[in-house]
Amino acid sequence: MRLATIEQAITSAPAQHGASLIDYAGWSTPGVLRDLLCRVFPRQIALVSSFGTESAVLLHMVSGIDKAAPVVFLETGKLFPETLQYRDTLVERLGLLDVRSVQPSARALALSDPSGTLWHSNPDVCCWHRKVEPLDEALSGFPAWITGRKRFQGGMRTALPLIEHEPDGRVKVNPLVSWNAEQLNRYMSEHDLPRHPIEAQGYRSIGCAPCTRPTAPGADPRAGRWAGHNKTECGIHSPNAANAALTKTSNPA
């Protein structure tokens, strides 16, 4: 798998580190990961994984480089039980040694979502407390993180670069940015990786159970996320925008 030239517009070194990011033009995806995990950010870069339908690809690559690499999993309290089962299956199969299942603040939920139905009335605030805030805390101290986003997923992901520099100085890497569904499926098959238990039921993009629907073959896989709401992302990739939405909904005009 080769990365297109435009994706390697690496512009600056991470501020807090001696090792520099380099131009990854022509590198394989595992090669990029190895350089990041072993040279640039040793044990200082976290893979954030949903343990969804395509998550096994990055988890497999990372486990082949460093089984003790930190992996952050947002256990929102609203996930499908099959996702928790799949997490356990992959952790055992791949020998991952540092998977951190991060939970929302019980105090925040007691104040904002005592009935557990905030996902229905205000999904932006629900995602804020169950995903954005816990991830922010989990990534504290990490100068870099890895996501599984791809351009083919569309929407706000259509123009993703390989590497992003966030306003707070943290580096965000999207190693699979140019992969498509066929390539992901082929990788899963070639490495005999287990599939998410409910993928075969039409769930091709899997998040929290109340906010995920199966989609028809050929339809946009992410169309099943937050169906019926004007929402396509949970907010962890644009916390400033999520915060603005949160403020707006908390203080309606």
For ligand SF4, the binding residues (CB under 6 A) are 76, 78, 119, 123, 126-127, 130-131, 207-208, 210-211, 234
Minimum Å gap between C-beta 172 and ligand SF4 is: 20
Minimum Å gap between C-beta 231 and ligand SF4 is: 8
CA distance 156 to 31: 26
- Residue 96 vs 127, nearer CB to ligand SF4: 127
- Residue 121 vs 180, nearer CB to ligand SF4: 121
- Residue 112 vs 183, nearer CB to ligand SF4: 112
Minimum Å gap between C-beta 199 and ligand SF4 is: 18
The yes-or-no answer on residue 234 being catalytic is: yes
Residue (of 223, 156, 139, 153) closest to 181 by Cα position: 153
- Residue 173 vs 211, nearer CB to ligand SF4: 211
- Residue 75 vs 199, nearer CB to ligand SF4: 75
Q: Which two tokens stand for residue 96?
A: 């991952």
CA distances from 99 to 7, 72, 83 (A): 29, 6, 14
Burial class (CB in 10 A: 0-12, 13-18, 19+), 114: exposed
Q: Kindly name the residue from 126, 127, 211, 234 that is annotated as catalytic.
A: 234
Cβ-proximal residue to ligand SF4, closest one = 208
Minimum Å gap between C-beta 126 and ligand SF4 is: 3
Minimum Å gap between C-beta 75 and ligand SF4 is: 11
**Residues carrying an active site annotation:** 234
